[in-house]
Amino acid sequence: MRREPVLLVIAHGSRDPRHAATVHALVRRVRSLRPGLRVETGFLDFNVPSVQGVLESLAAKGVRDVVALPLLLTRAFHAKADIPAVLRDAPRRLRIHQAEVLGPSPLLLSALERRLYEAGLTPADKSSTGVVLASAGSTDPEAIAVIADIAREWWHTGWCAVRPAFASASLPRTEDAVRELRELGCSTVAVAPYVLAPGFLPDRIARGAARADVLAEVLGPSPEVARVLLERYDAARVPMPTAVGA
């Protein structure tokens, strides 16, 4: 019988309790979509259990294969440095495969639109609505370029305009992108947070959206995000050979 690798979801962690609650809700949705798959959660900072603690526990229980999935939307410092460093310190008996980050993905664009429609927009509003794609921000040029590419791709689906914005590290800020869309002549301006869970930077995005007409919720435990997690898991997992006599 083939044993599936454990899926370890690695979240950043936050002092804001809404962050961990959202991560756990997303993991519950993943479990509901793939009954029988063992899914664990570890945090890099602020919350427990830690990634290292989960890895040690899995090794002690006889687990051999793990897919470590960064709960990140772009491939920036945490995915390139922090997480690999933690995984290198894992118990040697574990075979760990690091999955790709969640974005970009067409499913995430679908999740963004879902949140905008839940906030009051309709598909008929697209051609007259300018959207601010508001992300946390990064000093990593690759991550910034990815957000710009996503904004361009999303604009081609029929929105009046789509502008990227950042809550930290990069410019423009959300409020500047809102003002630009007003000046461009969009009848409605909406802000779509391209973040997974509430916290300090999403709150900054919300403050920057004060002059927008619509502010969507964070992506959170939407079904599209859960499906992306499983796609990344399936792409990274290496099935164990069938046991003799199974």
pLDDT in tens, 38-71: 999 999 999 999 999 999 999 999 999 999 999 9
Is residue 109 a contact partner of residue 154, using CB atoms and an 8 Å limit? yes
- pLDDT tens for each residue of 201-239: 999 999 999 999 999 999 999 999 999 999 999 999 965
Q: What band does 3 get if pLDDT is binned at 50, 70 and 90?
A: confident
Is residue 133 a contact partner of residue 172, using CB atoms and an 8 Å limit? no
- Residue 242: is its pLDDT beyond 60? no
- Residue in 177, 183, 184, 187 with CA at minimum distance from that of residue 128: 187
- Residue in 185, 188, 197 with CA at minimum distance from that of residue 215: 188
